[in-house]
Amino acid sequence: MLARLFLLACLLCSAAPSAQGREAREICGLIARGAAAHGLPAPYLARLIWTESRFDARALSPKGAQGVAQFMPGTAALRGLRDPWDPAQAIPAAAAYLAELRARFGDLGRAAAAYNAGEARVSDWLAGRRGLPAETRAYVVKITDRPADWFRPGGREVEPAPLEPHLGFLDACERLPVMRTRAASATSQPWGAQLAGAVSRDAALAAFRRLQQRYPALQGESPMLVRNNLRRNATAYWAVRVGRDSRAAAQSLCRRVKAQGGYCIVHRS
């Protein structure tokens, strides 16, 4: 099923420019070499990196995670990663970290959960002290095609399916689209036209891509993701906005989206 989802992502994207094609080839080569060096299945590492950043070397999360492997600055420093924006450094570092996480927690599913939610959160989950965030549960399914709870008893492992059944790894990996996810941060653009939201970052980005296909007013725009909590201690909610420097500019975009049949509301970021 997961292989079909990744194939669908490729089919939904128009042909990438040659620069993006070269970027995908470089990233996929780094993934293949990093996986081999650290004993990881290459499709597993590719799914994780693509889920983290959509192969965007300039990806910046609202929390501050940087680059194609989405290292937080503190984690990068602890692991001796000098430049998380450089895929040639970040991907091998991610592979090494995942290998360590698998050695510590016992399998690829728990390793993916720890990469997303942190080692302390996974330790607490295994000890029954806390649950996993909904975002992490969705993340583990995307990477392994198994729910997180499948890995909880321990002693279980998966052999990740190929990215595409009838293609070699590099050919299939290079067909994954490089999607530019980095936009100006909420603090750099004080107003936003809010268009949609979801309980996970990936779902919020997917919703924005669908809206772009539906409403001409959004063509060429970049998403600004704002993380909120619906209630105290509740699961995070990701709002999707298009940033503007003024309230009037955000209102103008909202009027155009609404005129085309969409939902839009202006928020101060």
What angle do helix axes 108-117 and 134-144 make, rounded to 10 degrees? 140
Catalytic residue check, 52: yes
Residue with tokens 């107003």: 191
What pairing do the DSSP bridges indicate for beta strands 224-229 and 191-198?
Answer: unpaired
For 25, the 3-state DSSP assignment is helix
Alpha carbons 215 and 115: distance in angstroms, whole number = 35
User: Is there a contact between 101 and 34 (Cβ–Cβ < 8 Å)?
Assistant: no
Where are the extended beta strands (E) located within 25-113? Answer: none
- Residue 27's alpha-carbon distances to 140, 174, 244, in angstroms, are 22, 8, 32
- Residue 261's alpha-carbon distances to 10, 192, 211, 265, in angstroms, are 28, 19, 11, 13
User: Is there a contact between 133 and 236 (Cβ–Cβ < 8 Å)?
Assistant: yes
Which among 52, 135, 164, 174 is annotated as catalytic? 52
DSSP conformation letters of 117-154? H-HHHHHHHHTTSS---HHHHHHHHHHHSS-HHHHTTS
DSSP conformation letters of 203-224? HHHHHHHHHHHH-GGGTT---E
Catalytic residue numbers read: 52
